[in-house]
Structure 1
Amino acid sequence: MTNILSFLKPAPEKEQTITDKSELNAKYKYWRTRVLYTTMIGYVMFYFVRKNISIAMPAIEADLGISKADLGLFLTLHGVVYGISKFVNGFFGDQTNPRYFMALGLFFSASMSLLFGLSSGVVAFGVFWLLNGWFQGMGFPPCANSLTNWFSPSERGVKFALWNTSHSIGAALVLVLNSFLVVYDWRYCFIVPAALAFVGVLFLLNRHRDKPQSLGLPPVEVYKNEDEEVKEEGEKKKGDFKRFVRKQVFGNPAIWFLCLANFFLYTIRYAILDWGPTFLTEMKGVDLQKAGWLVAGYEGFGILGMLSSGWMMDKVFKGRGGRAALIYMLICSIAVFFFWKLPHESPFFYGILLCIVGFFIYGPQALVGIIAANLATKKAAATAIGLTGLFAYLSTVLSGWGLGYLVTHYGWSLGFLILVASGIAATIFFAFTWNSGYIEEKAS
């Protein structure tokens, strides 16, 4: 088994032979750009075979007679398994070659989406979607590994936020694609995205690479003339990777506050993403195809929110992302409240409010991973983000099955009350990270 998985080992370091500064800058710029766009496109493909179910849910409900509570249970179990997988694979993501690890996860996830689309039994649906949740957890850890090795702490706010737009781009594109496909057959919502994801596997294998040292380049801190995040030799004397993780991740109170904030943040994010087409058709009377476009707009404005929050973290708050996250989360909670209370005859204004929610929910969603990565350093970034991700996807117990059950029995008003309360809770937990992550500028 060890020999079979040997291809996942980190790529060996090459001798650094480049001495010319301009040549080094050109090489580094090329590879940083390539790693960034490759991981972004790769993660978009992960979304194609993860968020392809929301548009299909009303059609599956009508075709197979599955209740909202059962569909919510699908979302919950998928989310919980994904969260556990993201946490477990965080350990592997910090210690493997991201090129092959990410491609392997996408291949198996696309396979599960394809099998889901070809199935008809409820049990088969459950098995394939649960397995999909596990393989989806292999997507983010290698990206965290790559980004923290190619970009230094002082620039991660902007670069991580730029990369994080892949979440919204992927979700928006698959929503638009499936808005057309669902008209013909809901099964196409799973088969077509799976086919595109298989192409994405080949793209990752062709374009992605491991850390700078594997290409004969110096570590990013040396290139950027910044302090080393991890003193490798000293760390070996003190203990192994597990001891480092216990100290830097599990022993860090700020990371636990991030975890709790992320739980409630994701309750809102996924409630709207997964149930958006359903509550827009039932609560607001929107046509299903138009509902898909509205939720895509929510994702689209989320891209702007990510980019602006990353800039605010780096340039305004000097690495203290918790401050930006608190501001964004508070405004998001207010927007959710107004969306809930807006009269049914105001489709234009609730469309605008949905976009505002998207802008201000995706800002802190991007920042949580950046803050966790900086606090844990590049050596344990994937593990720390995996831990925050575990809490994020445990929230699907509330946003998936819980919301489905409560809305079925008590209506959408109670559902939105829970979302507003979740926003307030996330805001409070972000307040406890107010001073975390400050990066002192080096003197020129």
Structure 2
Amino acid sequence: MSISVTVAEASDLARENAVFRKVVRRVVPFLILCYIFSYLDRVNVGFAKLQMSADLGFSEAAYGLGAGLFFIGYFLFEVPSNLILQRVGARTWIARIMITWGIVSASFMFVTNETTFYVLRFLLGAAEAGFYPGVILYCTYWFPSHRRARVIAMFMSAIPVAGIFGNPLSGWIMDRFHGTNGWQGWQWMFLLEAIPAVIIGVVTLFYLDNGVRSAKWLSDEEKDIVERAIAEDAAHQSVHGRVLDAFREPKVWLMCLIYFCFVMGQYALTFWMPTFVQSTGIEGNLAIGVLSAVPFLAALVAMNLFGRSADKRRERRWHLVIPALMGAVGFSLAASWSGSTALSLAALSFAAAGVLTCAPLFWSLPTAFLGGTAAAAGLAVINSVGNLAGFVSPYMIGSLKDTTGSTTLPMYVLALSLVVGAAAVLTTKKHVVNR
């Protein structure tokens, strides 16, 4: 009897694995494509800075402030956006987000002064608000928690992919099209890199499904398997119900602190990587773009290895603490080795491998205890508060760079932030998050 039960259980597990592989193939690559262009349009201002700051007379602090204002708009509209997504459906709302952010991103080609730069960065954040936590929420519709870290790591591979291909692309566009039609290279970059977001936004209306039941590419049996796994997982979640439940939950605010610390490092890399590389003596936008892609290659490998390991072992905390400390060490070494391109690039690669691995692994923590309407609100609260670091980080770096003339002190501050985040992770309870 025990043998037959074991064989039956093995057969059920094999069937379940096959179904979820099918879901991954259908859902995840398209979400990755969406996020690649989302992230590229969010951070390509880091490359535009190489020409735009000189053309328009921006100081380092002015650039940092403008880069960070994106996250103020993001913060203010994040929770409402995620609640609307839950109400109207992922397909319609994600399409709306992508189309509007593409239009706003293209509008940066018309920036002539600091005021228009600030306004457009704020509007870009407002337009994109809800996309990232919306996708995280969307993943909870399709995957139980023990399958989610790997899936989110795959989705967030879009960040290093955007860096690997986007940095050289941005550098090439700025060099190749500079002066064409009387426009600067950075103006062409904003226009050309915004077009795919609008196109994919339209495609989203026809491709994406709002949930399991509306998926015509799954049989009824396959839908039952997915929904049963999701229901079993939801039974372990401790926070459900109303929107206010998320705001009253202490664990949500702990997650905000942890994510804030990690985002400090993430956006330091994505907004300032071209400047970091340029400061080592590299000239030429294409050369800077190619070298800036190297740390993102290291991150792409690391985040997927850690994601697979976390799901296989069903362990979350140390799989998050170790990359955070890697990032801290990487930033510290980069500060010490700023005079050497090779050593600085090696240190930044180690930092990127750690910092960018933190984000996908982090989201397995709050999704382990948040459910229902509280999940829509809670995930948005965590993402919006945490992403305020996207305002603090670039502005802090710009201000300290103006004051000290180097990026050494900012890098030590970033390292300290990651250490604080790692310590906060260890205050979470194993039985809550390790599922």
Per the alignment, in what secondary structure is the counterpart of residue 365 of structure 2? helix
Q: Which amino acid aligns with 1:279?
A: F
1:438, CA displacement in angstroms? 4.2
Whether 1:205 and 2:205 are equivalent positions in the alignment is yes
Q: Please tell me the residue identity of whatever aligns with 1:423.
A: L
User: In the alignment, which of 257, 261, 268 is matched to residue 260 of structure 1?
Assistant: 257
* 1:124 aligned partner: 116
Contact residue 212 and residue 220 of structure 1 kept, 8 A: no
Equivalent of 2:232, from 221, 227, 230? 227
1:360 to 342, 347, 354: 354
Evaluate the alpha carbon distance shift between residue 125 and residue 400 of structure 1 in structure 2; reply closer, same or farther with a 3 A threshold: same
Amino acid in the other structure paired with 2:234 = E
For residues 384 and 338 of structure 2, the distance between their equivalents in structure 1, rounded to whole angstroms, comes to 36
The one-letter amino acid paired with 1:60 is: M
> Is 1:286 aligned with 2:282?
yes
| Contact in 1 for aligned 2:74/2:129 (Cα 8 Å) | yes
Letter matched to residue 92 of structure 1: I
Q: Match for residue 182 of structure 2?
A: none
Q: Which residue of 2 aligns with 1:420?
A: 415
Give the corresponding residue for 2:26.
34
Q: C-alpha distance in 2, partners of 1:374/1:112?
A: 35
Q: Is the contact between residue 162 and residue 307 of structure 1 (CA under 8 Å) also seen in structure 2?
A: yes
2:242 to 230, 241, 244: 244
Task: Choose from 60, 64, 82 the match for 2:74.
Answer: 82
Displacement of 1:369: 1.8
Give the structure with the higher percent helix: 2
Structure 2 equivalent of residue 431 of structure 1: 426
Match of 2:8 in 1: none
1:147-166 aligned within 5 A: 147-166=139-158
Asked if the contact 2:82–2:133 (Cα under 8 Å) also holds between the matched residues in 1, the reply is yes
Q: Write the letter of the residue equivalent to 1:261.
A: I
Look up the equivalent residue of 1:329 and give its one-letter code: A
Cα distance change of structure 1 residues 96 and 302 upon mapping to structure 2, 3 Å threshold: farther
SS of residue matched to 1:57:
helix
Match of 2:273 in 1: 276
Is the Cα contact below 8 Å between 2:86 and 2:376 reproduced in 1? Answer: yes
Q: How much has 1:22 moved relative to structure 2?
A: 11
How far apart, in 1, do the equivalents of 2:338 and 2:434 lie?
46
Aligned residue in 2 for 1:406: 400
Does the 8 Å CA contact 1:113/1:190 hold for their aligned counterparts?
yes
**CA deviation after TM superposition for structure 1 residue 315, in Å:** 1.7
Q: 1:370 to 1:24 in 2, by over 3 A?
A: closer
What's 1:6 paired with?
A: none
- The residue that corresponds to 1:57 in the other structure is 49
**1: CA distance between counterparts of 2:215 and 2:360?**
29
Deviations 1:339-382 (A, max 9, x none): 111261x3222222211111111121111222212221365444
In terms of mean alpha carbon deviation, does 299-308 or 330-339 score higher? Answer: 299-308
Who is 2:134 aligned against?
142
Q: C-alpha offsets along residues 253-284 of structure 1, whole Å, 9 cap, x if unaligned?
A: 333222112112111111121112113223x2
The runs of 5 or more residues in structure 1 that have no matched partner are: 1-20, 236-240
Question: Alignment identity in percent?
Answer: 19
The alpha-carbon distance between structure 1 residues 188 and 252, as it changes in their structure 2 partners (threshold 3 A), is same
1:372 aligns with 2:369: no
Matches within 5 A, 1:2-21: none
TM-score, normalised to structure 2, is: 0.85
Q: Which moved more, 1:101-110 or 1:333-342?
A: 333-342
Question: Does the aligned pair in 1 maintain the 2:70–2:121 contact within 8 Å?
Answer: yes
Distance 1:219 1:252 in 2: 32
Deviation at 1:105, TM superposition (A): 0.5
Listed as ranges, the matches of 1:258-337 within 5 Å are: 258-282=255-279, 284-289=280-285, 290-316=287-313, 318=314, 320-337=315-332
For the 8 Å contact 1:87–1:389, the answer to whether it is kept is no
3-state DSSP class of the match of 2:306? helix
Per mean C-alpha deviation after superposition, the further-off stretch among 252-261 and 25-34 is 25-34
1:12 aligned partner: none
Structure 2: distance between partners of 1:288 and 1:421 = 32
Q: 1:112 aligned to 2:110?
A: no
1:89 to 1:349, Cα distance in 2 relative to 1, 3 A: same
Match of 1:391 among 385, 388, 394: 385
Distance 1:214 1:25, change over 3 A: farther
* Paired AA for residue 347 in structure 1: T
2:88 corresponds to 1:96: yes
Alpha-carbon distance in 2 for matches of 1:349, 1:405: 25
Contact residue 169 and residue 289 of structure 2 kept, 8 A? no
Q: What SS does the aligned partner of 1:54 have? A: helix
Distance 2:300 2:418 in 1: 19
Q: TM-score, normalised by structure 1?
A: 0.84
Higher mean displacement: 425-434 or 96-105: 425-434
Q: Is the 8 A contact 2:368 2:433 kept in 1?
A: no
> Is the Cα–Cα contact under 8 Å of residues 93 and 145 in structure 1 kept in the other structure?
no
Cα shift at 1:436: 5.3
CA distance in 1, matches of 2:18, 2:265: 42
